[in-house]
Structure 1
Amino acid sequence: MYLRSTMRNGGPRTQTIPPGGDLARLIKISILLSVSVYLVISAKIWVTLIDLDRNGVGRRLATLTNMIRGCDQPGNNDKSKRTEVRPIPRTFEEKSHNLPQCTPMTTSDVDITLTVQLDEERLWVMKHHCLAWKRQISLAVLSDRMKSSISNDLKSMGCRGNIILSTLEASKYKRDEYPVNLLRNIAIQASTTSHIVFVDADFFMPKGTDEVLMARTIKEKLARDAKQALVLPAFQLNYKCSDTTSADQCRSQKLEAMPQNIIDLHRGLDDGSVSMFDPKNPHGHDSTGYNKWRKQSASSVEDISCINSERYEPYLVVRRCEDMPPFPEAFAGYGWNKIALFLHLNRIAYKFARVGGAYLVHFPHGHSAARKSWDKDNNDSKTRNRKIFKSFKMWLSTQPDQGVPRCPFDIKFQNYIADTYGAPTCTPVPADSISYTMVTQLSTNRMWLMERQCSVWKGPMSLGIFTDRNMTSLQDELEKLGCDVDRIAIERVRRDAYKSEDYPVNILRNLALSNVKTSHFFYTDIDFMLSRDVESSLSSPEALAILSKDPKQTIVVPAFMANAHCSDDYKDCIRPKASEIPSTKPELLRGMLKGDVKVFDVETNPGGHGSTRYDVWMEQGPNTIATIPCLSSDRYEPYVAAQYCHEMPPFQESFQGYSSDKLQWIMHLHRRGYKLSQIGGAFVIHYPHKLDEWKKKKTLMSDVRQERFETIFGSFKSFLKGLPNEESVPFCSVS
């Protein structure tokens, strides 16, 4: 936009300074003249902006103001000059003033526009949106290209004349400040139908979704209430290309793997190739009620009576009228931008319902340049968005809360899974084809413990890390610790998605397991340090022979603990004492004789490892196998090596924090008929924790949370009883 100003009477007004005028008067008059000119130009722009807003065109007062100041002149693309710090807003728009009034309507008035926002890197996805959606599409593109050029690209993709195209000049925005909500608002304002459905560009819908949403039952519900919103459940395709696949080949393979209809989707959900979107952040979508949705018929509508989290961010069909608040444009980049709209809608009494038969599936892809920039550490825009979200919630809290309530905790909504979807079929593996991946989970403040693990375990490793750091930062730290990052797979779960007491331990474990490419794995917690011979013992002929006979055979690695506790910082304490940690069986036995080492948790939880035959292990030779014939307690939770396959139960993700999270997995293995043997010579040893950290672990949960965990555990045991009893290891008889 170009700003052109003219002065009256053909030129600037002047004032004559009488001879002999003093210097102070001259300066005063110059200042007044400058201020007057600035105010005149500002007033003209405000008038122009008001006129533009009436036509739905004026959008960015900040850009116009900068142009007055000369710091954002047209054609000036020097981003280094755009260094002004934008203030954190304290108030936000309550309504979309550029949209029509929310007047009563009939079913015949209902029509829906698909609104999409994207940048040039994602333009190719419009081929699939145009194929799936036959009604109006409103597309907002961040691009410096001419509209006609983009329109030609869309035509070449097979898009018809039903697209309303809007563009926003990309050069005006820093790479890590992608104006996602501004683009969304532009697309919504440009559409002309009564309702819109907003989706992100990388979420594909199946053909015929528009027909499902335009069914009479749905139109009647939308026409009755301007504040009725419909939720489209979001899923994701779990597909990874091989390392040797080119980018183009990988895209083609993923497109072929995308579910094409509801039957494909249900099949994918059953075999694990499809899941709820972003299981690393279940708060984002689990309020939708996926299990209930799977039972709905096409075009049926079921109300969502409560939500599980204020971080819910569904994709919605909503009435396009002024009562609908706009997406808060202060958010740029990634994070909280869509959550804010849902919070606002819910606060002002919008209602939400699931639509049967309609859904979206996220197409897996690499990060865009904007996202890579966003993911960098110390990203100022990321910090700014957090502050904006805090400010937004404070502003929203001043308005009456008329929304859908939070769901009370109800064990009926807990879902337990019997199999590990996406894993290979459980068939016997020849001994010479068996190999292992070490699997563990950790938070970033335990990363330093990988130094010991990497020095001992030389095969593949798979980590689930609880962190807000990016992948490059994590890999750099692992390399500094002496780890070979080429053999380490990493999955991350965002810290900011969970309360401190809700550490998602089993989600992390399952994510780490999902990257296992070997036939078998060995699971250990990060603070259990491996003896020097764990990997070689598990790879011995004796171990491979017994594992090759039965996919349900496991090998237990006995667990010990050092008695010493640290009174100082955990990390600073353990590193100087690293030489004291036993790494061989002789060292361990000497430590036991001196009283420095004992069986893990033998005093506070004797059932946890009591079924391991420690008396036999003391006499076992290296690499020898001893059967564990019975369980002395139903609280047994050893560290085991097992075959990674479909029939192996996953860790149940309802268990979070510090209660029964690993115990339930062993109980599930036991119910499914898994067998237990222990390996001679090898061991893991826990060492050390600060005393106050142990106490914190046991007192972290409030009485309410403790009751919740006990309820979950009781429900899980009921779930196990409903499974066929295949137990092959009995409980020991009491003599």
Structure 2
Amino acid sequence: MVFGFGKIGIGKVIAFLVLIIVLIQIWHIGMLTKHERMTLPNNQKNEGQHGKVRLLISKIENAHVLDSSGSYNIITDIFCHEDSSPTLQNDVTLVSQTSSNNLDDVIALSERWDGAISISVFTHFKDLQFAMDKLLHLHLCFPKIQNRVHFHLVYPLDNDISLDELKHNFASSNCENSMKTFHHQNYEIEGIEYPHNLLRNTAVKFCKTSYVFLIDIDMLPNKYLRREFNTFVQSFKNDSVVFVVPSFESKDDAVIPTDRTQLLRNWRLKKIRPFYFDVCQKCQRPTDYDQWQFLPDSSHLNIAYFVQREDAYEPFYIAKKDFPLYDERFKQYGYNRISQVCEMNIAGYNFGVLNNAFLIHKGFKYRDGFHKNKEIENNRNRDLFQQFKRELRTKYPNSKRSC
């Protein structure tokens, strides 16, 4: 039998044999059992999960960033990820803050908002394990959260956090099952004050966009607000304007509207009403809901009208990132947002109400639905607010506006 090796050449024969061996190996891998092939992704997932745990522990061990009072440790961007969605410098980041028990609300936010989201999470020594497990679960199991949400952790410096215990007690994230929600409420953590304004400032400071949109964690904006705002703001040149987004609250069983037409229909059906309608009407009244309700239809986002700041006004708004930050002395309930809007007014900012933008709080709010110490905290912060206003006169000596 003649193979003709002399004509082909020994080098080509060797190359042919190597190719045959490679093909046999590929065929062998393809013949793995179903169980073996399913195990590979799980191993990769587990390794990824362990890597995230190690990263979290390392971040906590090496956390040296303190707030201005020296009372809280701050760990920024705990997963160190890069957004997969493009972020424009002239873009807007959704900003909020929460305790661990409300972290589930981030799921709906990441579905509704298609850009960057910055969330500050408050925790403490009794809560840290749950908070870490919950954050890891959300990050691993929800791709939009993984790609869009930057989490920042804030906890009291004097808390005794056992890192050794934390290292051994991380729960394995099963994405087919949701984690149980923690039972504590924001204002009911005995002996630990909830630092709203520190959390807000932390989430704002680490945004990478020119604009920020500060909301409560249990609110949802209309569906295409980011895209429409980015188009609108390209030709808007006045940096002293903040863009007020009218806020509403919706019945628990009502479908959250995606656009203004749906909102107005639900408003007529009394499934939706202005935010804080029962709790504090003057807190939102200057937005002028009657005027907003009867605006002519428009296909473009724009400023419909300007409003004057009044006593206790606390709108939700989009603003340039360099606006006056929140006074971090205000904790627990009362005056934490009112004080900041007060300073915005004295600093010369004007409040323009957007026509096609809105926020929806999930559930009606009632006066009797707050925690037991609400009035005590409110009275204490009212006194602080009076001091704060005196300080503003010194800070803005040439301002002709009052608060």
Question: What is the TM-score of this pair, normalised by structure 2?
Answer: 0.65
Superposed displacement of residue 509, structure 1: 0.7
Per-residue CA distance 1:670-714 (angstroms, 9 max, x = gap): 1111122122212101121686xx5252642364x4442221111
- Residue correspondence of structure 1 range 183-582 to structure 2 within 5 A: 277=70, 279-280=72-73, 433-467=89-123, 468-469=128-129, 473-481=134-142, 483-494=144-155, 497=159, 499=190, 502-540=193-231, 542-546=232-236, 549-562=237-250, 564=251, 577=253, 580-582=255-257
The verdict on how the C-alpha distance between 1:609 and 1:365 changes in structure 2, with shifts beyond 3 A counting, is: closer
Residues 707 and 524 (structure 1), Cα distance of their counterparts in 2 relative to 1, 3 Å cut: closer
User: Shift of the alpha carbon at 1:278?
Assistant: 5.8
Closer, same or farther: CA 718–587 of 1 in aligned 2, 3 Å: same
Q: In 2, are the aligned partners of 1:560 and 1:685 still within 8 Å (CA)?
A: yes
Separation in 2 of the partners of 1:475 and 1:628?
43
> Could you say what secondary structure the match of 2:111 adopts?
helix
Shift of 1:538: 1.4
Q: Does 1:587 align with 2:277?
A: no
One of 390, 394, 398 as aligned partner of 1:718: 390
The alpha carbon displacement at 1:478 in A equals 4.2
Structure-2 change in CA distance of 1:551 and 1:632 (3 Å): closer
Shift of 1:636: 1.3
| 1:653 aligned residue (305, 308, 328) | 328
Partner in structure 2 of residue 313 of structure 1: none
Conservation of the 8 A alpha-carbon contact between 1:456 and 1:530: yes
Equivalent residue for 1:641?
318
- Opposite residue 695 of structure 1, the aligned amino acid is D
Cα 1:690–1:625 shift into 2, 3 Å: closer
Distance 1:554 1:520 in 2: 10
Match of 1:700 in 2: 373
Structure 1 residues 457 and 365, CA, compared in 2 at 3 Å: closer, same or farther? Answer: closer
The 2-side partners of 1:501 and 1:696 are apart by: 21
1:435 and 1:706, CA in 2 relative to 1: closer, same or farther beyond 3 A?
A: closer
Q: 1:448 to 1:482 in 2, by over 3 A?
A: farther
Match of 1:668 among 327, 332, 343: 343
CA-based RMSD: 3.4
Give 3-state SS (helix, strand or coil) of 2:286's partner.
Answer: coil
Residue 589 to residue 726, structure 1, CA distance change in 2 (3 Å): farther
Amino acid at match of 1:631: Q
Percent pairwise identity: 22
Amino acid at match of 1:673: G
Given residue 700 of structure 1, which amino acid in structure 2 is its aligned partner?
A: N
**Residue 655 of structure 1, CA deviation:** 0.7
Evaluate the alpha carbon distance shift between residue 529 and residue 500 of structure 1 in structure 2; reply closer, same or farther with a 3 A threshold. farther
Which residue matches 2:7? none
Q: Distance in 1 between matches of 2:390 and 2:146?
A: 42
Query: Relative to 1, partners in 2 of residues 1:730 and 1:595: Cα closer, same or farther, differing over 3 Å?
Result: farther
Q: How many residues are matched? A: 298
Question: Which stretch has the larger CA shift, 493-502 or 630-639?
Answer: 493-502
> Are the equivalent residues in 1 in contact too, given 2:77–2:151 (CA < 8 A)?
no
- Mapped partners of 1:444, 1:366: distance in 2: 16
- The answer on whether the counterparts of 2:249 and 2:364 sit within 8 Å (CA) in structure 1 is no
Aligned-pair CA distance for 1:501: 6.5
Closer, same or farther: CA 615–726 of 1 in aligned 2, 3 Å:
farther
Cα gap change, 1:473/1:632 in structure 2, threshold over 3 Å: closer, same or farther? closer
- Structure 1 residues 710, 537: CA separation in 2 closer, same or farther (over 3 Å shift)? same
Q: Cα deviations across residues 7-58 of structure 1 (Å, max 9, x unaligned)?
A: xxxxxxxxxxxxxxxxxxxxxxxxxxxxxxxxxxxxxxxxxxxxxxxxxxxx
In the alignment, does 2:303 pair up with 1:626? yes
Instruction: Measure how far apart 1:659 and its partner are.
Output: 0.5
Deviations 1:210-246 (A, max 9, x none): xxxxxxxxxxxxxxxxxxxxxxxxxx668xxxxxxxx
Contact 2:92 2:210 in 1 (8 A): yes
Q: Check the 8 A contact 1:602/1:610 in 2, yes or no.
A: no
CA 1:678/1:707 → structure 2, altered by over 3 Å: closer, same or farther? closer
Rounded to whole Å, the distance in 2 between the matches of 1:455 and 1:365 is 23
Shift, 1:664, TM fit: 0.8
CA apart distance, 1:458: 1.2
**2:62, 2:107 → 1: CA distance?**
38
On the 8 A contact 2:222/2:357 being kept in 1, the answer is yes
Contact in 2 for aligned 1:675/1:729 (Cα 8 Å): no
Query: Unpaired segments of 5 or more residues in structure 1?
Result: 1-174, 176-200, 204-235, 239-273, 282-363, 368-431, 565-573
CA contact (8 A) 1:672 1:726 kept: no
Q: Tell whether the 8 Å contact from 2:97 to 2:217 is kept in structure 1 after alignment.
A: yes
Between the aligned partners of 2:375 and 2:77, the Cα distance in structure 1 is 41
With over 3 angstroms needed to count, the CA separation of the structure-2 counterparts of 1:484 and 1:702, relative to structure 1, is closer
CA distance in 2, matches of 1:445, 1:278: 22
Structure 2 counterpart of 1:612? 287
Q: Displacement of 1:202 after TM fit?
A: 8.3
Higher relative contact order (CA 8 A, sep 6+): 2
CA, structure 1 residues 611+202, in 2 after alignment: closer, same or farther (shift >3 Å)? closer
Q: 1:627 to 1:716 in 2, by over 3 A?
A: farther
